[in-house]
């Protein structure tokens, strides 16, 4: 979903794209590091 927004939404401000990108990257990293903790949340 995020990839589609960043690639298909050139009109979106770069700041928004960066924010979504960083947030998505952080979520992915957390899932890779400790998926069990996410399930606990």
Q: What is the pLDDT of residues 2-41, one digit of tens each?
A: 555 445 555 656 677 777 778 888 878 777 766 666 566 5
Cα torsion at 10, 16, 22, 25 (round to 10°)? Answer: -50
Answering whether pTM is above 0.85, one says no
Task: Spell out the domain ranges in the chain.
Answer: 2-31
Cα torsion at 27, 28, 33, 39 (round to 10°)? Answer: 60
Residue 21 Cα distances to 28, 38, 39, 40, 41, angstroms: 10, 19, 22, 24, 22
């Amino acid at each position: 979903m995020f990839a589609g927004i960043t690639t298909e939404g050139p009109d979106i401000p770069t700041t928004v794209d960066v924010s979504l990108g960083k947030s998505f990257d952080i979520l992915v990293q957390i899932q890779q590091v400790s998926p069990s903790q996410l399930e606990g949340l």
